[in-house]
Chain A
Amino acid sequence: MGDVANAFFNGEIFKESIWLLVKTLPTVFEVLILGLVCSYLWGLILSLMRLSRFRVLRYITGAYIDFFRGLPLLLLFVFIYYGLGTAGLKIGALVSGVLGLTLCYGAYSAEIFRAGIQAIPKGQTEAARSLGMTNGQAMRYVILPQAIKLVVPPLTNEFIAMIKDTSLMSVIAVPELLFRAKEKMGVVANPTPLTVAAIIYVVFTIPLIRVAARLETRRRKRPTGGIPASGLTPEAEMKLLAADIAGQLPKGGEGH
């Protein structure tokens, strides 16, 4: 029992590790913020192309989304950093990380945006069009402002998954939490740095999990009674929820 405690909670190493690992946070945040902005923007663009009038565009984006949802993120990181590097296209570790997140999470968030856009009742588009708005204006001024409000909770869940998936970048030498923790573990021959890394991860993820849960309940329970504030029909709510869950699915079996 004492051995186990010493292995995972060695006081001396614990203290050393905290500062060492906290120092990686600026790097982690940099990757995360860039990954968040790029992947959500890319996802929004993909979702609009997925819903385009042009069949070819729909098929291409559909194929893209399926492909990247089906691909392990770890493989993608290795491919971009080592694979392309071997082929003569050298990309830095950080950039590779952001690119991998964008390609992969762009596909997930595209499905969420699409579900959000489709959850807005058709009457909204019709009202906008009947006022003389073009399709683009209706999307921009009427549909998207409503859809984005709807997708905040599922996108928060995406972000939580993204935080955890930054650990996959340890294999492409991004100096992030897990990378430094493993390094330290090798030096001190003791897994306590992993414990510290674990604590730092959950310090960030648990509050977000709470926030996401609260956003979720707030969306479902509004004082307007039976009709949700979003004006969604119960079926549309179910569709969004289903897409929300589906968006989470591929990650479970991925890379870990």
Chain B
Amino acid sequence: MKILVCLCPVPDTTTKIAFGDNNTTFNSQGVTFIINPYDEWYSLVRALELKEAGTATAVHLITVGKADAEPVIRKALALGGDEAIRIDTDSNDPYVIAAQIAQYASAQNYDLVLCGKESIDYNNGTVGGMLAELLDMNYLGFVSDVKVDGNSVTVLREIDGGDETDSCVLPLVISCQKGVAEARIPNMRGIMAARTKPLTVVAPAAISSLSSIVAYEMPAAKTGVKMIAADNMDELVSLLHNEAKVI
């Protein structure tokens, strides 16, 4: 079984977000990039576990991004994985990202494609589903457990207000969230090995964007908290009813 793990570089979770050019561009100055936590902690680690268990024969990593993404790709290689592919283009449009990955993956016969449930920067949760359609595969989203038995995969999948156990035959695209695996830290051996693992840069296919971000906005700041005495909950209820009008 060949696995492809999609890795998205994103700003670190504690980044203070700022915009430039009259709020039309994200200001990445001084921002530390990491691998999207869903990708690094869950899908990548689960793929590595499947390889260690002998279920998977190959784990490839793929990123759509410019050269500045390479440090995080190397970090992923230090955790494990046989080789990495970087498609040399940058985009905010989920279709472009999915179509670039699909273009590469369609010739490679992957059995399992793993994504994160969403990227923590653009919060789309869209690339996995698009990939499934473009690769003509089934898709199981928001998964918190992945078991592989021969040609069949069983997952625990989040649904409205609960979860569902589904099974499906390969090939398959899965988007992963918490529960799928336990995050790992790269060790020295992994870091050394990563230096010599192949990181192939692939030229992007000609795919036009279908959307673009034209402006950003910060949420309106709260006007200040109104403190209510801990022994006066009638006052709080009255404010929630008369002032906030939420009950």
A, B in one complex: no
